[in-house]
Amino acid sequence: MKFLDLAKVTIRSGSGGGGCVSFRREKFIEYGGPDGGDGGTGGDVWVECVPALNTLIDFRYQQHFFAENGRPGMGKQRTGKDGDDIILKVPAGTEILEEDGETVVADLTTIGQRIMLAKGGNGGWGNLRFKSSTNQSPRKGNPGQDGVERILWLRLKLIADAGLAGLPNAGKSTFLAATSNARPKIADYPFTTLHPNLGVVGIDQREFVLADIPGLIEGASEGRGLGDQFLGHIERCAVLLQLVDGTAEDVAEDFRIIDHELKNYSEIVHQKARVVGLNKSDALTDEEIAEKRAALEVASGGRVYVLSAATGKGTTEVLRALWTEITAQRAEAAREDEDDAPWQP
């Protein structure tokens, strides 16, 4: 299935049906009078978060979603049929944005979450509604209310606990394949990863979701390479794993390139907890590992984990470090939810 994380759609709720102008005319019935029914209500447009979806590819082939109009009222006090609703089904992590691409309308992160995007128009009143003691034979009915039309953007941000970041060929896909059930494309040339991948990682009888995004290069924030278009998929992560290719000539400079691109994209992403790993240690001598690890610790200002995704060496320690940060973030989020909860006596 082709991956698509951004789509533009046009939605329109149904218009209400018009009210009916009708009078009762039946043989042998003494009392007549107005009997026009109301128009039906137009259908609503909803968006719903459903399971078993991880892309917005369905919205590449259909961009217009119009709910059904309400039917007009009829004589004998019959109300018109309401229009059917229409539901946009999206994966978890989908943001709904206004046409400007910045104003957030809704953020769907939970399966089953459902939000109305456009309400259908009300049906018009029939002439029966206008009958009064001073107006026994009203000859007017209201038209139905028009539906609402909107142009919206759907933007998918994958929901993962941890995210991978690094230059092309830093070994991110190899790490994901070695530690999870994911099977991303792996090759010895840059940009083998063209779209984000998710994998479920198990460590010490616990599981978390790890996201791999296409590699960043210097100038990605200015559109070079694949740009920073996929960085939105790690915005929801609790921690980032930044992998540095141990066979590179200047590992400190490689770290600074990614750090600079993350900062240019978003200060929130840049400030996330980060675990730094020196990858491909199987291709280095002990002296080279010590030298490059020291240089990377100076550049990152923290601990550097030495690992080899290809052989599995050191990956357990890295996964445990990621899990420690994830649990800390979850505990902090739980405390914030408790603080925000209304007080109950």
Which residues line the annotated binding site for Mg(2+)? 173, 193
Task: Indicate the pairing of strand 149-156 with strand 94-97.
Answer: antiparallel
CA gap 187, 129 in Å, rounded: 73
Q: In sequence order, what E strands does the chain have?
A: 6-12, 23-24, 33-34, 45-49, 64-66, 86-90, 94-97, 104-108, 114-118, 149-156, 162-165, 197-203, 206-212, 239-245, 273-279, 304-306
CB-based contact 106:48 (threshold 8 Å): no
The residue among 213, 187, 215 whose CA lies nearest residue 198 is 213
Task: Indicate the pairing of strand 33-34 with strand 23-24.
Answer: antiparallel
Give the residue ranges of the annotated binding site for GTP. 166-173, 191-195, 212-215, 279-282, 308-310
Give the residue ranges of the annotated binding site. 166-173, 191-195, 212-215, 279-282, 308-310
CA gap 186, 192 in Å, rounded: 6
CB-based contact 238:330 (threshold 8 Å): yes
CA gap 335, 6 in Å, rounded: 33
